[in-house]
Structure 1
Amino acid sequence: MKKTWLLGLGFFSISLTWALYNAFVPLFLENYLKSAALIGFMMTIDNYFAMFLQPWIGHRSDKTVTKYGRRMPYLLIGMPLGAVFATLIPLHTGFITLVLFMMLMNLSMSLFRAPTVALMPDITPEKNRTRANGIINFMGGIGSVLAFGIGSRLYDIGSYMPFLFAGVVMLASMFILKAVIKEPVTLENRLEAEPQPQRRPVRIKEQLDRTTLFILGAIFFWFVAYQGVEALFTLYGTNHLGMSDSEASFSLTFFSLAFLAFALPSGWLGAKFGKKRIILIGVCGLFLIFGSAAFVESLPVLRLLLIVGGVFWACININSYPWVISTGTEESIGTRTGIYYFVSSIAAIVSPPLLGWVIDVFGYRALFISASAGLLLALLCLLGASSKDRTADGGPLDKTPAAME
């Protein structure tokens, strides 16, 4: 558990950087672009790199053998580069340099995101992964809270301050992870304690069974809903509700605080009652919250809805990645991690320009209405997915009534 908490520092730095990116980069782009759809499109260019790189790098990390381990080499390369280019974003001198720094930062982040997340199941037995994912997402939630809370205050000092803060945090996290996570020793001990069958090459197409496809469909649609709201909320707050830039970004702190508070309980609930069941509750609840938010004009009421929405998002997000991993084999952890982020990257590409276009046509109120529609489609996909997990040899793993539902 100690290593899991420290591993959460990697996810902490990732969440902090992405939250700051999504909160403030649209404001930089608004200086050059006036269409919400165009701004949304520019926010997705980086995800084209992530869409192709993360599955490939996750798959490659399954087969990487170095004295630093399977995953750590990718962290040691990607994190310093990500820190440098994140710091450069607010120092852009024009539209071209802004887009260049955006692309380089996100290219760097793509180098280490999947290996960082795959470290968790590498060092954690299957029965503890839902709780462990709660821990690392708890750390990620702290990163988001700092981004929207402290980040909004730093932005008032200077637009470069939040990004400099993110760069320093990322470098510090890398040094701590390198010092604490001794990957070869950890994996060797685990293999001694839990004998594994002889490994064979992992083929991506073998991972796309019926249940996995339904799960990935649900992941796509709920990330369309979430990514669109996160990327465009600052514009929604400033243009529709009349907030200042810092007020709009600070409002997202309420969502992140609720996610943070419920990250650990959500992991416990998923382990006890089944990952699919808790995800279903989260999807239904967030659907109602986003649908209601579309008709709220009061800032206190909106922030209250964001608090409740953060709880439901924790139910979804904490349990989804362990569910994807549990339906595959131990040898495919990095590959399935890459597939998970491939789907979420497609959602990140589609969502901001799609919801931005909806805003251009129907007005800002349509942001939350279209997001709730995405959650409804996610619910339909969930209904077609099985709850069964598999062991490394492909047999059923979790046979408890709660998990099997």
Structure 2
Amino acid sequence: MKNKPTIQQKGRFKLKYRGVDCLNCGHPLELSDKYCPNCSQANSTKKLTLLDFFEEFLANYFSYDSKLWKTLTALLLRPGKITKEYISGRRLSYTNPFRFLLSLAIIYFLIISFNNEFESFNKFGSINKNPVFDLNNEFNKIEFENEEEKKLARAQLDSFNINSFIKNRINEKDSIILSDPELHFKKIDTSSLTSRFIEKVDFFNTVIRNDTIYYFDQGTTKFNIPSSNENEMAFNLATSIIEIDKRPGSFLSSLISKLPFTTFFFLPFFSFFIWLVYIRKKYTYTDHLIFSFHNQSLLFILLIVSNLINAVFNISSEGLFILIFAIYLYKAMRNFYQQGRVKTVIKYFFLNTIFFILGALAITILIAQSVFTY
């Protein structure tokens, strides 16, 4: 008696393509097996065509029973419960929380990369303006009651000659450094560590702007500067500051694009505080980390939707979606940890305070790293 499937399948799953052994792991199969029970590969001996390849790819993401849609539905409609189900063992039904969060971070990064809003700030860079503060331009923005009052104010402004004073002071400082860079640098090396490093950054800033110095090795050779880690760090910082001053918009775009990935550095620390707050609950540290991953994934989804809405309708919807996330987070804590409203509210505000502190610390480190390496 032949073991045939009750429903005739189509495409690669037709009966004539069924095998008796899995082509992937060699596990024995029956003709009724659509997939291998050992490794889950499709039971089909048909050669893979281009159409089959794309159908299989799209089916994994858009079929009604795919992990992606189940994860999205559970995440949006059942705050906290998706984490409870995942840690209880229903892992095959949902996408891996870390992989899901990483995918959303990449999507958000791509959206931010296409948004050139910050690039418009490059017009304020020093490459497009006079490095000395333009008092005349600011003066013309002031409204006067009559022309006589304007003339009087103009005469008083000209008498101060502030632009010339600032320019002369800058030139005087630069000329002292450039007159004998090697001697000036030796004097700097006798100062204390903090002031010494700041003065070195200022020194390199001056010589880079006024001389053809592109690499640290050029400076060490030309000005007989010791090749030390401190000196190289000061040179790199001075170079970054000059580039940021020239193109501030590009720096902001670069900085914003890195923000999503700071999540993966401070979420494990944040999960430790969640574990401390709910230490009496029978959850492991990993359970709290998965809870954090799920909530952060929802935040990325809301930010992605917000960016798309802003781009289409030319509005700012971030505030609304942050409010939605704040409500969602409270519901998720209530559903997952199963505690009363008062306790949940207290822990909600405490953990959010910790979250913002850790976030600010991570952003500070990111800015410092970006400034040194830009």
The interval holding the TM-score normalised by the smaller chain is under 0.3
- Taking structure 2 as the reference length, the TM-score comes to 0.25
- Taking structure 1 as the reference length, the TM-score comes to 0.24
The structure carrying a bigger helix percent of its residues is 1
- Bigger RCO (CA 8 Å, 6+ sep): 1
Larger radius of gyration: 2
